[in-house]
Structure formats: C-alpha cells, structure tokens
C-alpha cells in the first residue's frame, strides 16, 4: 500500500457539494485515492508509513480539468495573427496537412506538460486531422500522456467534407465516413477504459457540422451510444457560423445538432458562444454540457459566451484552453482567471466570483467529461490534487483569502501536482519526464514545420464554403 500525506495546507478548497474549505488541513492519499481529509492531522495511526509532504505554504484544490484542446496545434502557434475563425482555418489547414505521429507525439508531450505545470490533472484532446499513412496519431498522444502521468480523455475526431465537396479543409486532411467509423471503433476497443479511476478514456468527436457530413454526424452519435462513450464537437463559435447555418440549413447551430440527435447528458460542446435564449433552454433540458474557452474566443474575436445564463439555467460548464493556434498559451489556472474576468467584462463585477470560476475548472470540467471520481477533494475520490505555493512575490497580500487569491492574483505555476496519488509535478518541476527533452523535441519538430521539411498539404480552397 502506498500512502502520502499532504500535511497542513494553508487552505484546502474541496469543491465538494457544500463547497467546504479547510484552513490548515491535511490530505491523506492511499493507493491513488483520497483516504482522509480534514483540519490538522489525521487520527493517530491512519497515516503510519506515509510519505509526508509539507504543504504549509500551499493552497490545495482539485486538479484542474481541461475540456477542449487540439494538442497538435502546439507546434503552430502565432499563425494567422489577425484572422477570425474561417481565415485562420484557411491559412492553417495546409500546414496541418503535414502532420504525422512524430509531430503529434512532440506536440502532445509539450502541450500536456504545459497544462500539468499550470495545475491541470485531466485533459481532453480533440484530434480530428488524420492524413492517410502518417502512423498511429492517437497512440502517439496517449503515450505522451502516460509518460507524463496525466489523466487523458482524447477524442477520435473526424472531417469528411473536404474542398472538393464544398468544405473548407483540403481533401488530404479528410477521411471517408466508413474509415472514420471503423478506426474510431478500433480506437475505443484499444484504449478506452470505462472503469472508475481510468487514466484513459476515448470520446467520439466529428469536428463540426460544417466539416463533417450529416451522415457522419448521425453515425458518430449512433456509434458513441452503442459503445457507451461520450460525444464532443464544436458549435456556435462565431456569428459567421450562425449566419451560414441559417442560410444553408434554415436553423440555428444548436437546432442543427438537436436534429442530428447530438444533444444529451453524454455530450459536451466546445464554445457555444452565439446562443439564443431557446438554445440555452434546450441545452439545459437535454443536460448537454459546454466547454467554455474564453481566451480562444477573444484571440479569434469570436465573441463572449453567455456563461452566467448557461450556469443559471443549469447547464454544466467546464473550461478549455482550446488549441494552441487560437490560444498561444495553455495555462489552465490562467483560464480560470480569464473566465472570471470575461464574465465581469460582460456582466459587471458580480457576474462571476473567483470560487465560481474555480468550480467551472474543476466540477464543471468533470461534468463535461462524465467523471464523478475526480473534480473534488473528498474521501473516496481519486487523488488528483493541485497545490499552489502562496508564499511568493505575486501572492504577497492574499492572506485575507488565499483560495480566491490564487485566481485573483496573476496565475502562478503549480508547485505540486498529484494525479492518481502520484507526483506529476514536484517542487515546480515535471516529475516523470525531463523538461528539457520535452521542450527540445517540440522545438525541433516545430522548426522542421517552419522550414517546410514536413509533408506539405494541398493549397487552400477558394472561398465559398465551410
């Protein structure tokens, strides 16, 4: 039996249903799960033989949960700097057409490490670019997550509407629906673990109703429900998308998903920025969750999601950093702060508290990914714990409220990150992989991309379709 005692934290924000907080409390971890949590030390004998970690300068929160990402984009940051979504996609698709397993592995290694260093213990990835003959792309990113020690929910994404069919992506990054569905089922059989405490789960994620055909969207829904895995896609990200949807399909984006059976308590949707009041009511009625990506929405000038209205309507809302080509950094505690500030910019100072933003990054994220075993610190839950040092310069003066302080002050890197009872970050450094190797590999492949040494895609299509 392995035991670890995180001793005498400055504060613990449990994010349990009662939103319990403990000052000067400790957390006992046993075989990957939380065995005891409370003020002071555990009862005599309970922590015998434990590896004792002094946490007296740290605020402990549940490991943060990232609900939307495109890890391969880590190697294509800072592109299309002044473009909105469609112009940005048009510039980047031909670059992404050069993607292979080495690119994906290097990008996932760096991207997941970047997240871990910001306090993220569980991340998803929406990977939907599968050029033929480029190796096991999903396997490459799962290997990176295993080496790092983070909990990982990659999705098997897809696109089948290429330029030759009026779509936006070049044909080389699309696949026919039969291949998509067969490879998705194979990925689930190979990697998906439905058991409690699972480190890897797969979801089904056609890219969007504008790059995936109606047949692929509907059959993805059927496949996911037959196999008992979750569904994910992009929706209502921009006003262009809304106008296109009304013109082409005669309905709003959320209504289009509804027609396809793509709403429900097994679905989480990225963005959901441009919603009508009936859209919000429908998402709530179907218990569909939303991945809110505030920085990405601002980087692309897409708009501001109606998070206050979604939360008040009962829609589960988690946070996502989104791909690193539309949010050139991936600091998940920073995204918590960003969500709070964006909500206040739109709705005034009472629109979102620091603790509500933390809830989105923990419990909201767990709801998006369908996990009831992570997202809060309670006996019986998995031991996914982020500890932020509050003794440094940037946190001087947060003593009056250290829990809110880690959100209101400038976001700091995590000090310790524990996932499934094991260190992923210890004393501010990656515990299981050499940081210099991860960074070196990512920079080497990124240089090859810039210098044009990777496979090249076809030219971008002329304007006229999505």
Q: Cα dist. 44→4, 28, 417 in Å?
A: 15, 12, 26
Segment lying near Zn ion (by CB under 5 A), choices 136-144, 204-212, 303-311, 317-325: 317-325
From the CB of 225, what's the least distance to Zn ion, in Å?
23
C-beta of residue 38 within 8 angstroms of C-beta of residue 426: no
Segment lying near Zn ion (by CB under 5 A), choices 34-42, 147-155, 315-323, 445-453: 315-323
Give the three-class secondary structure for 321: coil
Number of amino acids touching Zn ion (CB under 5 A): 1
C-beta of residue 269 within 8 angstroms of C-beta of residue 245: no
Residues in the chain: 466
Q: Cα dist. 379→7, 29, 221, 281, 382 in Å?
A: 16, 9, 35, 35, 8
Please identify, using beta-carbon distances, which residue of 364 and 421 lies nearer to Zn ion: 364
From the CB of 302, what's the least distance to Zn ion, in Å?
11
CA pair distance 218, 226, nearest whole angstrom? 12
Please identify, using beta-carbon distances, which residue of 234 and 381 lies nearer to Zn ion: 234
From the CB of 322, what's the least distance to Zn ion, in Å?
5
Residue at token pair 């895609």: 457
Please identify, using beta-carbon distances, which residue of 242 and 322 lies nearer to Zn ion: 322
Q: What DSSP string runs through 52-118?
A: EEE-TTEEEEEPEEE----GGGGGGTT-STT--HHHHHHHHHHHHTT--HHHHHHHHHHHHHHHHTT
Q: Give the chain's largest Cα–Cα span.
A: 72
Please identify, using beta-carbon distances, which residue of 258 and 322 lies nearer to Zn ion: 322
CA atoms within 13 A on the CB side of 368: 31
Please identify, using beta-carbon distances, which residue of 103 and 128 lies nearer to Zn ion: 128
> Token pair for residue 257?
């998903």
CA pair distance 281, 349, nearest whole angstrom? 25
Please identify, using beta-carbon distances, which residue of 128 and 388 lies nearer to Zn ion: 128
From the CB of 406, what's the least distance to Zn ion, in Å?
26
From the CB of 270, what's the least distance to Zn ion, in Å?
5
Residues 321-350 interacting with Zn ion (rule: CB under 5 A): 322
Please identify, using beta-carbon distances, which residue of 125 and 322 lies nearer to Zn ion: 322
Segment lying near Zn ion (by CB under 5 A), choices 40-48, 208-216, 254-262, 318-326: 318-326
Q: Give the residue from 62, 71, 127, 133 showing the smallest Cα distance to 377.
A: 62
CA pair distance 117, 463, nearest whole angstrom? 40
From the CB of 280, what's the least distance to Zn ion, in Å?
21
**Angle between the N-to-C axes of helices 101-116 and 435-450, in degrees from 0 to 180, rounded to the nearest 10:** 130
Residues 117-156 interacting with Zn ion (rule: CB under 5 A): none
Please identify, using beta-carbon distances, which residue of 16 and 91 lies nearer to Zn ion: 91
From the CB of 234, what's the least distance to Zn ion, in Å?
5
**Angle between the N-to-C axes of helices 214-227 and 177-191, in degrees from 0 to 180, rounded to the nearest 10:** 20
From the CB of 70, what's the least distance to Zn ion, in Å?
6
- The sign of the CA dihedral 145, 146, 150, 155 is positive
Segment lying near Zn ion (by CB under 5 A), choices 12-20, 171-179, 316-324, 331-339: 316-324
Residues 244-273 interacting with Zn ion (rule: CB under 5 A): none
Please identify, using beta-carbon distances, which residue of 149 and 157 lies nearer to Zn ion: 157
From the CB of 110, what's the least distance to Zn ion, in Å?
18
Please identify, using beta-carbon distances, which residue of 322 and 335 lies nearer to Zn ion: 322
Binding site for Zn ion (CB under 5 A): 322
């Amino acid at each position: 039996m392995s035991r670890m005692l995180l001793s005498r934290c400055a504060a613990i924000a449990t994010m349990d249903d009662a939103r319990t907080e403990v000052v000067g409390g400790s957390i006992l971890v046993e075989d990957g799960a939380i065995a005891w949590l409370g003020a002071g030390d555990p009862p005599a004998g309970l922590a015998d033989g434990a590896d004792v970690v002094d946490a007296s300068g740290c605020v402990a929160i549940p490991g943060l949960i990232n609900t939307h990402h495109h890890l391969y984009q880590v190697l294509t940051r800072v592109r299309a700097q002044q473009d909105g979504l469609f112009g940005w996609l048009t510039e980047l698709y031909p670059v992404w057409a050069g993607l292979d397993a080495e690119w994906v592995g290097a990008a996932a290694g760096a991207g997941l490490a970047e997240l871990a260093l910001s306090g993220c213990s569980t991340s998803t990835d929406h990977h939907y670019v599968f050029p033929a003959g480029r190796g096991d792309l999903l396997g490459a990113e799962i290997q990176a997550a295993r080496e790092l020690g983070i909990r990982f929910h990659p999705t098997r994404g897809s696109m089948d509407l290429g330029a030759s069919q009026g779509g936006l992506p070049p044909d080389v990054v699309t696949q026919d629906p039969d291949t998509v569905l067969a490879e998705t089922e194979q990925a689930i059989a190979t990697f998906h673990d439905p058991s409690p405490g699972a480190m890897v789960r797969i979801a089904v994620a056609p890219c969007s109703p504008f790059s995936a055909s109606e047949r692929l969207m509907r059959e993805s829904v059927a496949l996911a429900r037959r196999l008992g895995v979750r569904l994910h896609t992009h929706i209502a990200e921009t006003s262009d998308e809304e106008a296109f949807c009304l013109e082409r399909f005669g309905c709003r984006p959320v209504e289009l998903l509804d027609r396809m059976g793509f709403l429900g308590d097994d679905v989480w949707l990225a963005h959901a920025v441009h919603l009508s009041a009936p859209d919000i009511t429908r998402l709530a009625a179907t218990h569909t969750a939303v991945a809110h990506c505030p920085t990405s929405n601002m980087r692309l000038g897409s708009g501001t999601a109606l998070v206050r209205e979604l939360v008040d309507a009962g829609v589960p809302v988690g946070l996502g950093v989104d791909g690193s080509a539309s949010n050139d950094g991936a600091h998940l505690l920073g995204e918590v702060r960003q969500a709070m500030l964006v909500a206040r910019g739109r709705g005034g100072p009472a629109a979102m508290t620091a603790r509500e933003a933390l809830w989105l990054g923990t419990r909201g994220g767990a709801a998006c990914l369908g996990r009831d075993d992570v997202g809060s610190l309670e006996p019986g839950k998995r031991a996914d714990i982020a500890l932020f040092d509050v003794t440094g310069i940037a946190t001087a003066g947060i003593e009056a409220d250290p829990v809110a302080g880690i959100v209101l002050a400038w976001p700091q890197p995590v000090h310790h990150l524990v996932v499934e009872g094991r260190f992923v970050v210890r004393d501010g450094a990656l515990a299981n992989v050499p940081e210099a190797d991860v960074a070196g590999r990512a920079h080497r492949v990124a240089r090859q991309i810039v210098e044009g040494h990777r496979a090249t895609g076809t030219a971008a299509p002329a304007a006229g379709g999505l």
